[in-house]
Structures are given as structure tokens and as C-alpha cells.
Structure 1
Amino acid sequence: MSTQRALFCADIVSEIAETINLDSTCTPHQRRQCLASMARVSRSFSDPSLRALWADMNTLDPLIKILPHVIDAVESVGGLALNGRDTYRYALNGDVSDVAWNRFEQYASRIQTLALHHWQTNILDPSSWNYLARRATGSLLPSLRSLIWPVAPPYHIDSICLLSPSLRKLKIIFPFRDVIPPDQWAHGIRMFFRNTFLAAPNLRVLAMWSGTITNENISHRVPLQAFGDALSSLTMLPQLTMFQSLHFPILVDNYPLLSALAALPLLCDLLLHVDLRQGQLKGITSGFSHLKRLSLSGVLDSEALTDFRESSALQALRLVHHPNAALLDLHQALKVISKQHPLLSQLIWRHSLENHQPDSLTRLLEPISGLRELRVLTLSFTNATLSDSDIELVATGCPCLIKLKLKCRKGSAQGGSPTTHALVVLARQCLSLSLLYLSSIRMSEADYSAVDTLPVLDHGLELLGFGQLHCESDRFSAMVVDRLFPRLDISQSQRGVTKPPPER
């Protein structure tokens, strides 16, 4: 491929190193071995190779081992116990010379992405962290852009010196509930968040992951509420565009957290697990105006969705209802969504309906006609049956659909499943549909006998999946599908397609 200018030798070596680093045919270990070998070829190869080799790290071991006087505290099991505190893997046992420190800084400045695992929380003892922080003239990792950071109570985090103003993406991993007693959760958490946000004020993306923490025990609620209250310091991150709380606890009062999120001027992506009720945002007169993607889990009161009425730019919504939410709340939720966000392009809507067994979803889905610009729709109601009328309502209400997944209770050959008629309606109404998944479908011999009467459509469907196909013969179903969707690979619609197509 011709270029507009001749590449210098350093540019060529950098391209080679980058190509090796992105080679998906090799394992990460093989790629790192290759880059390490390149670094030893010559001085011209050394810097680009080392830059690629150290840019993406999943451990601090190589960096720490550069320092002299490092004690490896792990022999067979356990670590080094210092001053009666927890065990640590490494510790410095002497001062670091200027020459050794310059070498350490040279390698530390190359790290751009660092993904630590939960067992690396205590990789270095506190006094060693303090020494490194004092010795550094600026940030310890000045080029760091992305960090996965495991932490644990009491949150006197010595490794906070890893953070820097260059950091743009931070994922904090909190421990599993059964590892840390509940009364330790709140201790030091407010100061932890403040110090974290002071050290990394330019964050764009903040995610928090906390294992399997729930509110099964009422005694957990007080410390977890203090944990949520501490997140009010999110207002210290004015450049934050994405906030995610993954598997995080449901709080008793979400106001401090929601108030802080509403105050962020650039927030456009929000994933939140909250026990959402009407009035949670009472007193917040404005906010969430730049939201483009919103994911809410634990929605109990559909009227609470009106609190996001200023999110006129919303494009994608993922809604997971609380198990105790009533059918009327679901109907009202869709009504609110259709009224507030008529230009919505993606909707993922889930409810187990464990306490409900509706005969039809038609009444529930009536307001969907207000979302005529919808491109992607996933409905997951695992305890409800799907009928032809339900699908017809979706097809006529959302004619611009490109991807459609309907996951409901699987029916039988005698009933409880949509029929060939549903496919005909989808083929006629949703001309842009490229991906379709139905939890079950029923095709009779009469459908095969009348296959010549089906409309001949040049439909562009590319991928079709059935959780369960009720049909006398795969040949019958193949002929029906081929008639409606001639561009589709018939093998994709045969019996045995049990899993929905992956999200794209």
C-alpha cells in the first residue's frame, strides 16, 4: 500500500511492534515473548518494542522487580506479615539509588493500561507504597489511561499513588460480601472516594463491581447506605461521561447518588442497579439532559421513569423490573417510555413475571406503537406466552426494526406459540429486519400445504433463531422460511437452534 511519505526506521519498527501486539492468532504470552525478543535485537528495535510490551499490563510484578532490595514474600502459601497487618507479596528492604529509580521511572512511564486482579490487592506493603509515592516527582504511572483496581476495607488505600491525572477509565473492584464483614464496609469509604477523585480528576469512565452483594440481610443496609452516600462526591468529576455500577448493592435511599449523577454536565451513559421508586429524584429540578444510554435494574414504580423526562437525547434504554413489579406498572412503564422518548432506537425490557402468568402480552404491549423509530428491541418475559397478536402488535408498531428478540415461555405443538402467520406479518411489516429470534414457533402441515400461497418477498433477513421449533419436518419449516426470507441460510432456521443470536 502506497503512503504519502516515506516511513522512518523508528516508524517501521513501531508498526511491526503494534502489528505483533494486535495479532489475534497468537496467545498473549507468545506476543509478549516476540516483543521481548525484538527489544533485544538492536537499539532501534528496543524502544518501540518495549513501549508495546509495557503498554498493556495485567500485573505489577515486572515493574516492582525492577527495584533493588525487593523481598519476594511468597514462598509456598501466604505472604509477608508486617507490623501485625495483613500479608503482602513484596516489600522494599532498602533505599533505591538514583540510577535504579530512573530505570524504574522509564518503564513505569510506558504503562498505559493496567488490569489488576482481586488477589493483587496486597501486592506491596504500605511502607513501600509510601516510599514510592514520596520518591516520585509526579505521578507514579504518568501515562496510565485505564485501570482495573481491586480494593478492600478499611480503604486506607496505599496503592492510590497508581492514580494520575492522565487516567480516563477506572474500574474499581470491591470484595465479595462473604469476604468482608458488613460492619467494615462503611469505614473509610467517604475519604476513599474523595482521595480517588482528587487523584484522578479527569476520569471519563467510572465503573464499580462488587461481586454478589445484596440486601438479603437487613443488617447490611446501614453500612451500604453510608457507602452510597459517599458517592455524592461524584460531583468532583465534571468530565465524567459514563458511570456503571455492576452487581452493586441496592441502597435504601438513592437520592445522594442520583443527585450527584444528575449534576454531572457531560454524563451520557448510565448503568445503575437501584430500587427505583417515584420521588427518588424529588428536589432535583434538572439533570440527565445529555443521557444517550440508560440501563436501570430493580425498577419497581414505573412512574419513577418520569424523573428522566429531560433525557430527550436518549437513544438506548435497558429496563429490568423488580420481581415485585405489577403488570400495570409494566404497562405504565412502556407508556411513559413511548411518551417521553419517541425517538428511542434501542429498547431492552425484562421482567421474570414470576408472580404473574398473563395469557397474552397484547395488553401490556399496546403503547409500543409510540416507538416507531425503534431499531433494536429485546423483550424478555420468561413466564409469559407469546402469541401471533403480540408479534403483530410489535411489527406494526415498530416497522423500522433491524434486530428483534422475543424471549418468552416456550409453548407446545398444541399451542402457546406463535405460528407461521407471525413470520408473514414480520416479513411484510419490518422490511429492514436482519436478525430475528423467537423463543418458540409452531408450523403445521397445513402451512406447508399452503406454502405456494405465501407472499414472495425479497426480504433481507440474515440471521434467524428459534428456541424451540414445533414442526412435523425440518423440510416443511425450511420451505416456509425460504419463501419468506430467500436470502437467509436455511440451516439457521432448522430445529435445534436453542440459543438466541449474540448481541451485536
Structure 2
Amino acid sequence: MNSPPTAISFDPQRYLMPDIVHLICEQAHATYGMRRVLCVLARTSRLFHEPALSYVWSELKDMVPLVGCLPEDVWSSRRGAFGSRDIKIEREILPSEISRVLFYGRFIKKLEVPTVVIPHIEGYILVLLANALQGRMLLPNIEDLVWEPGHDYEFPIIHAYLGPNIRRLKISLFGMHGSDLSNRLPYLYAWKLPESYPSLESFKIDNGCSDELAVINIVSHVVCGWAHLQVLSVSNLTPDAFEYIAALPDLRQLTLNDMANVSPLPSQPPISQNGIFPTLRDLNIVYKHPDIGIRLLQTTVCASLTHLKINCPCDAEHGNDILEVICNHRAAHSTLQFLMVYSSETPSVNGPPFIQSHITPATLNTQSLRGLFVFTNLSSVHLEIASGFDLDDAGIEEMARAWPRLESLWLRTGAARPHQRPRLTLRALVILARECPALAKLGIGYLDATMDALNAARSFAGDHPVANKHVYSIDIRRSPIDDIQQVGLFLCTVFTGLEVMFQGVGMVSWSRERSSMDLPTDTEDD
């Protein structure tokens, strides 16, 4: 007999009325669509007024709400192009006119200054407001700033929108019309951000696809001024800066999103056993030269990674090398949850390539994939390597049993030779439904879905197949299919929540809504 649940005693010293009010506002803020409730509470309840305001104003996606706090003759609203509502700044802002802006500004913890904002603000609002401050602090409690102003003349005044509590900063070196990097780059050095805000924990910078050494040098100089970084996202680093961040005690997320052909590694890379990247959990790298990626991954083999994302040009040989060095991350065998290896070029399989490619049309075999089975807690796997994996249904079954916790799977698969029927069939999808009950996203790039394969899959599934309720869509692009309607009907018996099926990139080939056939439904509770 089950014992009754333990009663939770109410502690009046812990849950005073202000605490309860705060908890209610916190819950409303965290619930989608509840912002209106907070606004009503702020307007109608003296008790809730300031706590609710603090959440309503805590995160701003643009400057529009602050413009609304200015006197009505400072700005006007009008219909712009295509019927959108635009805001025009009509005159200068006097220092005596920003009291309401300062009142609400103290609640703001996150502010985004995007390149493009709707409604569009016509005028120099960022500059005019900064000038009206006259030394006063606009955002004393700001913790998170996204600085992507559309015009170069706005870019230099970042300090007016920062505060002593800033922890996360994202900067874009590009404006509304693709600014020249040289217009903004010098300010990164002139601002002396590490000296003014030494406690920064997250720094992200977008400089597009530029591999200019000047950009890498200045960004690296800035990065080396922070000792408490936990999150870093830059295009590339100098070797000295790479060694510096590898030794940071708190760095848990690193993105090098455009190394191209410029290696950030010193001639003698740091040895992984010597305590480098001690807390790294999330690694995202983009490169063009194979040696850069392999050597960089070798420096992180002692990190207990949970997320690993790699984007590179990748033939079969480099694909095997990548998988081998990934498998050497022994500290991550029980921690890795997300794995993505994406080849940035698409090879030809049974036809012309979708994107011009220089990748040799060789596939990887099951043995190449089998090495990854040591990662026992994977929940998301996305592998688009070279021409894919030449798998059969038995290989998929082995994979599914190795990764029973899978929630998301995308595999690029292919034939061993052009114009050869794929060895992978619809039976593989039935196996995945059986072995991976939590699976919710599914894509297999190339499998046999002809009538022969469909009949074999029906026989294998039986009259009462094990049903997966979570998969909403299935992507089987480039797969040979004789009767898409029959395939959709069958898959709905295996994946009872299935609504759409894709056979091409972004193209819905079948949907439950469009189907004129009666499809089975599952009315049981999850």
C-alpha cells in the first residue's frame, strides 16, 4: 500500500507576503502569453505595482518602449512603407525630459539594440538619449546587452547603455547596410571593455565571414582582458589568445564560428592532459582546412563535453578522422548529449549535387559509426558527413540499441555506388520507433521506400506495431518512393503523431491534413 504524501509545512518566516508576490510575478513572467497579466497587476494593484513592473520591463527587444516614455512632442507615430507603423524623432531630447525613461530604465536587465527594428525608429534616438543623460546612468541594473545598432554613428556610444552589473555582451560589427568593418573595429580597442567591466561572463561578437588578421588580433586582445568568461563566441583567435582561454577556469561554452584556413593553435598546441579546458561543456567549431579541426579537437579530449558541433568540408577520409578523434574524448563518453557533424558541402548521390561540391562520392561504413556507440547518453545526433553512411537495417538497429535515449536523429545516408538501391529501408524506421521511445525528430537522408520495401516493413511491423507518439515530421529526402500516400498511411501506424513527411529540402511531400484517407489516431494518454 502506498504511503500518503508528506505534507509540506508552511514557513511564515520564509514565505512573507512580498515573497509570495514575487513568486507570482516570476511565474507569470516565465509563462508564455502572461505578460498581459503582469501589465494588469502593475496598473491595478498597489501591492503588485513595482514587482510586476520589474518583470514587464526586465527584457526589451528594442528601444521602442523607452521612446514611449518621452514627452509626446519628442516623437510621432505614422504609417510607413507597406503599412508598417514607424516612429519619427521630431526634435532634441532635453535632459529634464528623461525622468520617466530613467524610472523604467532601472528595471531593465536585458536590452537588445537590433540592426533592424519594427516599428522603424527614424532619427538619432540612441545618440540623443545618450546626450540627454549628462552623466546619469540609464541602465544601472543591466546584465545582458545585445549591441547591433544599424548605423555606424550609433556604434561608439555603447557605454551609455552599459552598467556595473553587465554579465553578458553581444556585439555586431555589421550595420543595416553591411558596414565596413574598419568603421567599427577600432572601437573594440578604444572602449577598453575589460577594464570597465572586468566581471563579464559571456562575450559574443559577430564579424561575419571575415578572416582578416586585424579583426582576429583586436578581438583576441579584448578577450584576453577577461578572467571570468564562461561563454565565448568569436570567429577565430590568435594562438596566444587560444592558450589563454584554454586555461580559463570557468569557460564552459566555446564557439569559433569561422576559422576558415587560419589556425588558432600555436605551433606546439597545449597538451590536453595539462588541465586545459577544465570546465568546457559546449564546443562549436567551423573550419575549412581538415588539419585545423583535428588538431583543435585533440586539445579538448579531456573535457567532459555535453554538446559538440562541427561544421567543415568533409570527405570520407576526413569524416573517419573526425569520428576517431571524437571517440577519443573519453571524459565525454557518459556526458555527451548533443552531437552534430555537418559537412558544409553537399556531395552527389544518384544525381547532381544540390550545392557545387568537391567532395569525393565515398560513403562511410557501419564501422565508422559504431565507434560513436561509446557515448551512451546521446539524445540528439545530427551526422551529415561526406556522402553519408552506407548503412543497412541491421546497422540502424545496432545504433538504436546503443542510443536508446535519442530524441532527435538526422543521418545522411547513401548508396555504396551511384544508381544503386539503398540498403536502408522503411524497416529501419520501425526499428527506431521500437528502440527509441523518446524520439521526436527524425530524418534519414536516403532509404528504400518502394512498394517492395513498404510490404516488407508492414510484415515486419505486424498488425499491432509499437507506436511512437512524439514524432511530428519525418524527412526522407531523396528516397525512392512508389506511392507516397501508402507510405504515409503506413508510417502513421508506427508514428501516431505524424503530420508531415518531407521528400525534398523544405518540401512537404505528404501531410495528414491533405490526405483523403482515414488515418489511425491514438486517443490514449501519454
Q: Is 2:379 the counterpart of 1:365?
A: no
Q: Is 2:226 the counterpart of 1:226?
A: no
Partner of 1:142: 140
Partner of 1:272: 256
Query: Quick check: 197-206 or 278-287, which moved more?
Result: 278-287
Partner of 1:113: 110
How many pairs does the alignment contain?
457
Partner of 2:294: 303
Q: Do the aligned partners of residues 125 and 400 (structure 1) sit closer, same or farther apart at CA in structure 2, a change above 3 Å counting?
A: closer
| Shift of residue 292, structure 1, vs aligned partner | 0.7
Partner of 2:227: 238
Q: Give me the TM-score of the superposition, normalised by structure 2.
A: 0.69
Structure 1 residue matching 2:218: 3-state secondary structure: helix
Q: Is 2:353 the counterpart of 1:356?
A: no
- Partner deviation per Cα, 1:79-101 (whole Å, 9 max, x = no partner): xxxxxxxxx9587555539xx75
* Distance in 2 (alpha carbons) for counterparts of 1:75 and 1:425: 59
| Shift of residue 498, structure 1, vs aligned partner | 7.5
Matching of residues 56-455 of structure 1 within 5 Å: 56-63=59-66, 71-72=74-75, 89=89, 94-96=94-96, 105-119=102-116, 123-124=124-125, 126=127, 129=130, 132=133, 134=135, 136=136, 139-151=137-149, 153=152, 157-176=156-175, 178-192=177-191, 194=192, 196-210=193-207, 213-215=208-210, 224-232=212-220, 233-245=222-234, 254-273=238-257, 274-275=259-260, 280-283=265-268, 285=270, 287-301=276-290, 302-321=293-312, 323=313, 325-341=314-330, 343=333, 344-351=336-343, 352=345, 353=347, 354-362=357-365, 365=368, 368-369=371-372, 371-373=374-376, 375=378, 376-381=380-385, 384=388, 386-388=390-392, 391-392=395-396, 395=399, 398-400=402-404, 402-403=406-407, 405-408=409-412, 415-416=421-422, 418-420=424-426, 422-423=428-429, 430=435, 434-435=439-440, 436-443=442-449, 444-445=451-452, 448=455, 451-452=458-459
Q: Do the aligned partners of residues 47 and 299 (structure 1) sit closer, same or farther apart at CA in structure 2, a change above 3 Å counting?
A: same
Q: Do the aligned partners of residues 415 and 91 (structure 1) sit closer, same or farther apart at CA in structure 2, a change above 3 Å counting?
A: same
| Shift of residue 348, structure 1, vs aligned partner | 0.5
Q: Do the aligned partners of residues 305 and 19 (structure 1) sit closer, same or farther apart at CA in structure 2, a change above 3 Å counting?
A: closer
| Shift of residue 320, structure 1, vs aligned partner | 0.7
Which amino acid counterpart does residue 434 of structure 1 have in structure 2?
A: L
Using the aligned pairs only, state the percent identity: 16
* Distance in 1 (alpha carbons) for counterparts of 2:224 and 2:233: 15
* Distance in 1 (alpha carbons) for counterparts of 2:469 and 2:43: 53
Which amino acid counterpart does residue 467 of structure 1 have in structure 2?
A: I
* 1:91 and 1:124 in contact (8 A); partners too: no
* Distance in 1 (alpha carbons) for counterparts of 2:107 and 2:396: 57
* 1:448 and 1:480 in contact (8 A); partners too: no
Q: Do the aligned partners of residues 466 and 50 (structure 1) sit closer, same or farther apart at CA in structure 2, a change above 3 Å counting?
A: closer
Q: Do the aligned partners of residues 73 and 197 (structure 1) sit closer, same or farther apart at CA in structure 2, a change above 3 Å counting?
A: farther
- Partner deviation per Cα, 1:371-425 (whole Å, 9 max, x = no partner): 3425132112485575427944972894445145234378899724621454466
Matching of residues 37-52 of structure 1 within 5 Å: 37-41=40-44, 43-52=46-55
* 1:35 and 1:49 in contact (8 A); partners too: yes
Structure 1 residue matching 2:57: 3-state secondary structure: helix
* Distance in 2 (alpha carbons) for counterparts of 1:498 and 1:69: 50
* 1:348 and 1:377 in contact (8 A); partners too: yes
- 1:55 paired residue among 54, 58, 83: 58
* Distance in 1 (alpha carbons) for counterparts of 2:436 and 2:48: 54
| Shift of residue 261, structure 1, vs aligned partner | 2.6
What do you get for the CA RMSD once the two structures are aligned? 4.6
Partner of 2:512: none
Q: Do the aligned partners of residues 386 and 42 (structure 1) sit closer, same or farther apart at CA in structure 2, a change above 3 Å counting?
A: same
* 2:127 and 2:154 in contact (8 A); partners too: no
Q: Do the aligned partners of residues 106 and 231 (structure 1) sit closer, same or farther apart at CA in structure 2, a change above 3 Å counting?
A: same
